[in-house]
Structure 1
Amino acid sequence: MQKQQGFTLIELVVVIIILGILAVVAAPKFINLQSDARYSTLQGLQASLQGANSLVYSKAAIAGSDKQSSATTVNLDASTAVSTVYGYLDATEANFAKALEISAQTTDTDVTTGNASSTGDWLIYSDDSTVKFWQNGAPAACALTYTPATSSSLPQYALPANGSNDC
């Protein structure tokens, strides 16, 4: 009697079918990685924005302009100045590009459908009451929204309502 060597054809087919089933079950988890990465990037931008705003507020408080309701200039360094309202960054695209030191393009129209398209890493839109940030190529719903400080509230930061599902 001869010893069997290797796998039979049936064993090989069974293993391939099992691997196929595992791939179909696991694929949706891996497909969502891009939206998770976009959402995490927005969270990182939010943290950077909060940190920058904290530093700007400190400089405004030292200069005595932290209670000003109209736009006041605060120098970040010898060559960079930003405008503030109540000591925090005012809602202008230029302020954020300077304070965050990011590669950004500004737009005059809000991205409501489709994907954000920018020559920089970020697309920034301001309507004087809020500022929206999109990562280049991100869906319209995947935006960080910044609302500047008022006399009675601190700046507000809003990530997509559905988390990474919007990204």
Structure 2
Amino acid sequence: MNCKITNSRGFTLVEIIIVIVVIGILAVTAIPKFLELRSQAEQAAVSTMVSSLESAMSIYCSRQYVNGGSMAIHNVFNDLSNIPENYNGENDPVNATNTPPGTWSYRASGNWIMYNPRQPITGGWNNGGTRFIIYQIQTVTEGSDTVGLRLTTTPTYDYSWN
């Protein structure tokens, strides 16, 4: 009986090097795109939250107008039907400890809604090296009557995403 024994071989060193090079090329092209998508997602989330807060303020003002009440500056997070998970409540002062990256706080002094971004920004409010995005709740008046509320950035704390 003739038995033939074959040598089974693994990958050659050249094949392994080629696979490593291909994976490296994919990583070099994919990682920057992934980081850009993270930044775009955070920008969209901030924009969506601001729109939700503006809608909540509009509903509040409409209710106050219909009921003959006054339109007072207040914490508009309380007007949302669902408080977001990344809202840390009212904090004064606001800092990186009570408002970690990716979270919102309300600061009554100044009527500020503040967000601590995960991605770097230019401008904003610098507090101990942490840059916050700030929106201020302001009254809208006609003559001496308050007719609404608005959420706005202020020139002092304008910001842009890096």
TM over 0.5: yes
Which residue number corresponds to residue 55 of structure 2?
51
Q: C-alpha distance in 2, partners of 1:126/1:42?
A: 20
Tell whether the 8 Å contact from 1:122 to 1:136 is kept in structure 2 after alignment. Answer: no
Number of corresponding residues: 133
Q: Following superposition of structure 1 onto structure 2, how do residues 1-167 of structure 1 map, counting pairs within 5 Å?
A: 8-65=12-69, 72=70, 84-85=71-72, 90=73, 92=74, 95-100=75-80, 101-102=82-83, 103-111=87-95, 114=96, 117=99, 122-128=104-110, 130-134=111-115, 140-151=130-141, 155-158=150-153, 161-163=159-161, 165=162
Q: For 1:116-159, what per-residue CA distance to the aligned partner results, in whole angstroms no more than 9, with x for missing partners?
A: 536xx63222323x412226978743525133123258613339
Verify the 8 A CA contact 1:115 1:138 in the aligned structure 2. no
Contact kept, 8 Å, 2:56 with 2:79, in 1: the verdict is yes
Contact 1:124 1:131 in 2 (8 A): yes
Q: Distance in 2 between matches of 1:34 and 1:9?
A: 37
Are the counterparts in 1 of residues 94 and 107 from structure 2 also a CA contact under 8 Å? yes
* Structure 2, unpaired ranges of 5+: 1-8, 121-129, 143-147
* Alpha-carbon spacing, 1:46–1:38, altered in 2? closer, same or farther (3 Å): same
Cα 1:160–1:64 change in 2 (3 A) is same
For the aligned residue pairs, the C-alpha RMSD in angstroms reads 3.7
Q: TM-score, normalised by structure 2?
A: 0.60
Distance 2:13 2:106 in 1: 59
1:46, 1:144 within 8 Å by CA — same for their partners in 2? Answer: no
Runs of 5+ unmatched residues, structure 1: 66-71, 73-83
Tell me the residue number matched to 1:68. none
Give the strand-richer structure, 1 or 2: 2
Structure 2 SS opposite 1:98: helix
Q: Could you list the per-position Cα deviations for residues 13-48 of structure 1 after superposition, in whole angstroms to 9, with x for gaps in the alignment? A: 123112212212321222344443333222121111
Instruction: Name the TM-score, length of structure 1 as normaliser.
Output: 0.58
Q: Percent identity?
A: 25
- 1:79 alignment counterpart: none
Q: Secondary structure at the match of 1:127?
A: coil
Q: Say which SS state the counterpart of residue 151 (structure 1) adopts.
A: strand
**For residues 142 and 56 of structure 1, do their structure 2 counterparts lie closer, same or farther at Cα, with a shift above 3 Å needed?**
same
Query: Structure 2 vs 1, CA of residues 97 and 151 (structure 1 numbering), >3 Å: closer, same or farther?
Result: same
